Amino acid sequence: MSTTTTYDPATVGTAPTREPARRRSDLAPIRLPGLLRVELVKMFNTRSGFWLLASIAILSVLASAGVIVFGNESAITYESFSTAVGMPIAIILPILAILSVTSEWSQRTGLTTFTLVPHRGRVIVAKAVVTVVVGVVAILVAMGVGALGNLLGAAVHGVDPVWGFEAVDLAMVVLANVLGMLMGFTLGVVLRNSPAAIVGYFVYSLILPNVFGALAFYQESFHDVWPWVDLFYNVTYLYERVPGTEAWAQLGVTALLWMVAPLVVGLRFLMRSEIK
């Protein structure tokens, strides 16, 4: 059995036609809403990210249960529950913010991310927006758990629920935690290494305040300067009361010193760093 191939003389000597390759400029860019969706998925699709977010709800429930079980009747107030649930989220949220940036380098996904979106600034903006939004939602969830704990604790102890917590107080708590997250985000941009950034955050939040406090105690001349150089001092102030004009100015100066300036420098290096 033989096969016969028929040639068309008109096509002899002519190359097959190909569809012209699409230039990079012809491809539709990934817009900010798309980047936000991608970065939101990245917050949940790793074990560390998922369990960090899940631990906020878990620890909030455990903290509220601890107040109910071990607290007396005078401790059954919303302030007690908000303080209890606020301690774990104040630690977890900055770490979450750090990992949202450093994961591109520690998990070696940066090459893919910045190839698909060459404008690194847009990626960082998307990460910052998603980090803040997720943080605010997590804070509200934790505070909601605290409110349920206050109602349950009042019922268990047979007392009337005590609130004493206004909307402005909630706003200050949210602002304080968001500033903590942004500090973690800044360290992630500057260091681009998860362990180094996490250690750096604990140095900022645990060691430096003690150093500044000791200086203020032993050096009277430093006492008045302290609020103008210690960001953590001003952030913790938000948990206690609404700042006045001078306190807002001190918060702004220290935020400029500890967050804005390092973030600008870190972004310059991030834009020019080699992605491997």
pLDDT tens-digit readout, 46-83: 777 788 888 888 999 999 999 999 888 888 899 889 88
Mean of all residue pLDDT scores within the chain = 84
Higher pLDDT, 90 or 19: 90
Output the pTM of the full model.
Answer: 0.83
Alpha carbons 28 and 102: distance in angstroms, whole number: 27
Q: Does the pLDDT of residue 222 top 60, yes or no?
A: yes
Higher pLDDT, 36 or 14: 36
Q: How much is the CA Rg of the chain, to the nearest whole Å?
A: 26
The secondary element (H helix, E strand) that includes residue 222 is: helix 220-223
- Mean pLDDT calculated for residue range 175-203: 93
- Mean pLDDT calculated for residue range 6-29: 52
DSSP 119: -
Q: In sequence order, what are the residues at sequence separation of 6 or more whose Cβ sits closer than 8 angstroms to the Cβ of residue 229?
A: 212, 254, 257
User: Are the C-beta atoms of residues 77 and 157 closer than 8 Å to each other?
Assistant: no
Residue boundaries of the structural domains of the chain = 32-271
C-alpha torsion sign, points 153, 157, 158, 164? negative
DSSP 12: T
User: Are the C-beta atoms of residues 59 and 88 closer than 8 Å to each other?
Assistant: yes
Alpha carbons 33 and 217: distance in angstroms, whole number: 50
